[in-house]
Structure 1
Amino acid sequence: MPASPAVSAPASPTLRWPEAWRAPSFRARLLLVLALLLGLLAALPRFFAYIQARPGVVLPDPLLAALPAHDVSGLIFGTIYLSVAASLWVLLPRPQLLLRALWAYLLLHVCRCLLLWLLPLEPPVGLLLLQDPLVDQLVYAAPAPITKDLFFSGHTATVVLLALAVGRGRLRTALLAAAAAVGTLVLVQHAHYTYDVLAAPLFAWGCYRVARCIADGALTAPHPIAPSPVERGN
């Protein structure tokens, strides 16, 4: 008796690279998002130079007015880069989860650019410059420091997005705590308004939901595979 044909099942986050790469739709969406991210990276220095040169408004912020400013750049970027490293450890072996994260990151920055263009703001009173040699050289390459990259907080939103991308488990809990720490620290630095930090998780969640729809249509598996503990419920 001939073997029954394999039944197509919804994409599983546990698919590994050999199976995922055989799917043309996965390859197309992965290469597309990487190309778009590179294009965005190339456009950002000129965009932020424009944002910095444009006049804006100073928002009233009672919390910042009551909060003494301190330079905590080291804590901020230490937390962010540790969060990125821990997340990549989980995401890199799992192509579908990685694809979701990449699309969400792209959408997050497109949203930020749109809102920065629509809402010209002046930096908060008492701002202390964030010191990030990597991003300062690659993204903020401008004659003057960039201080008007405000609504919404990209630092906070990125760590929230990573928490969503890795799935439920201890790592998600740790990343959400890291996001709360980053949000608090950028306020201590007076690098953002309170509104920027409070809005960041909402935009991260919305971008991740849209990215999940884009990525989950890219893969099909012959047989469903039980998710691992770190991916279960994602």
Structure 2
Amino acid sequence: MAFVLVLVLVVPHFYQFIQSRPGQQLADPLLALLPIRDVSSPTFALIYGSSVATIAFLLPRPQLLLRGLWAYFFLQVLRMLTLWLVPLDPPTELVVLHDPMMDHLFGVTTQPIVRDLFFSGHTATMTLLALVVRGPWWRWGLALMTAAVGTLVLVQRVHYSYDVLAAPFFAWLAYWIAGQVTKPVRESGE
């Protein structure tokens, strides 16, 4: 919980820094092939629906839940590191992504964050959900929803295709690190 508290205190300042510094705009031929639409609602319907279903799956499985929470923490740290190391400007046709739940609950009163690009946090989070569940139906279902979210953030031009393609690797890395942290300690002599 202490690590989460540190993140909660640091993240707002970090994202203000990311948003205030200039970055490089990338050429992305894949984006040119896709339509441009505001798909905020279906994007967040998939993310929130998948998150709730995964949490319901994990609640009776505390070891997996713990690994998932650690993995999410490590994913945020990895994302902050890559955002710091790879300053980017968003694609030119960006359509601002609106989180219907957060916008409704808190209202949008500040400038939206649009320079949090490499790697896609939405796609990485969905990948993490697919990694933490067990059973082929769960995994394949969440993998398909991950592909849908990755496509939707590209259609909205919230990310470059590079951001979306890199996200599963970072999710796997965070999940692997979490597995090392939550691995049961074997007593000597076993």
Length-normalised TM-score, structure 2: 0.91
2:4 aligned partner, one-letter code: L
Distance 1:219 1:35 in 2: 26
Distance 2:76 2:89 in 1: 20
Q: Is the 8 A contact 2:44 2:100 kept in 1?
A: no
Greater helix share, structure number:
2
Distance 1:187 1:175 in 2: 18
> Match for 2:16 among 49, 64, 67?
49
Answer yes or no: is 1:183 the counterpart of 2:144.
no
Cα shift at 1:207: 1.0
Q: Is the 8 A contact 1:45 1:142 kept in 2?
A: no
The corresponding residue for 1:125 is: 92
The corresponding residue for 1:151 is: 118
Query: Alpha carbons of 1:110 and 1:150: their partners in 2 closer, same or farther (altered >3 Å)?
Result: same
1:100-115 to 2 correspondence within 5 Å? 100-115=67-82
The corresponding residue for 2:166 is: 199
Question: Which ranges in structure 2 are unaligned for 5 or more consecutive residues?
Answer: none
Q: Is the 8 A contact 2:40 2:100 kept in 1?
A: no
Question: Which ranges in structure 1 are unaligned for 5 or more consecutive residues?
Answer: 1-33, 221-234
Distance 2:109 2:81 in 1: 20
Count of matched residue pairs? 185
Cα shift at 1:137: 9.4
Structure 2 SS opposite 1:195:
helix
Calculate the aligned-residue CA RMSD, in Å: 2.0
Query: Which 4+ runs in 1 deviate beyond 6 A?
Result: none
Higher RCO (Cα < 8 Å, 6 or more apart): 1
Cα shift at 1:65: 2.2
Length-normalised TM-score, structure 1: 0.74
Answer yes or no: is 1:89 the counterpart of 2:56.
yes
Distance 2:104 2:89 in 1: 22
